[in-house]
Amino acid sequence: MQREYWFYVYVLTNSSRRSLYIGFTSALKKRIFEHKHHLLPGFTDDYNVTRLVYFERYKMAARAIAREKQLKRWRRAKKTWLIERENPSWRDLSAGWFDETQGPSTLAPVGRLRSG
């Protein structure tokens, strides 16, 4: 049986919602773990951007990459609209994904939210 692969476009923010980060990955839980534990140097680490507020799931990497590029070109108001349409309270969608004994290699796959 062939394994099913998914690709994700995701949006992170910080506690003040001032910074938005849009990314692409084939391992969403692992990537969010890396952001939350500041294992990836750069923008998300510098601005403490660790709250997952939106994500989409795709079967084809090319579609996910195209969507990521599209979202990055949008003005902030449109990104805010997209987030609030699915997550009006901007809650952390990854809350409860991890416990203290988990590391990136022990994470189970992400459940379904949106498919593309």
Distances (CA, A) of 76 to 15, 18, 26, 38, 68: 17, 10, 25, 24, 14
Delimit the domains of the chain by residue range.
Answer: 7-106
The 10s digit of each residue's pLDDT in 35-71 is 999 998 999 999 999 999 999 999 999 999 999 999 9
Please give the CATH architecture assigned to the domain spanning 7-106. 3-Layer(aba) Sandwich (3.40)
Tokens of 93: 């969608």
What's the pLDDT at 110? 52
Lowest mean pLDDT among 3-12, 56-65, 102-111: 102-111
* Better-predicted residue by pLDDT, 98 or 21: 21
What's the pLDDT at 19? 96
What's the pLDDT at 86? 96
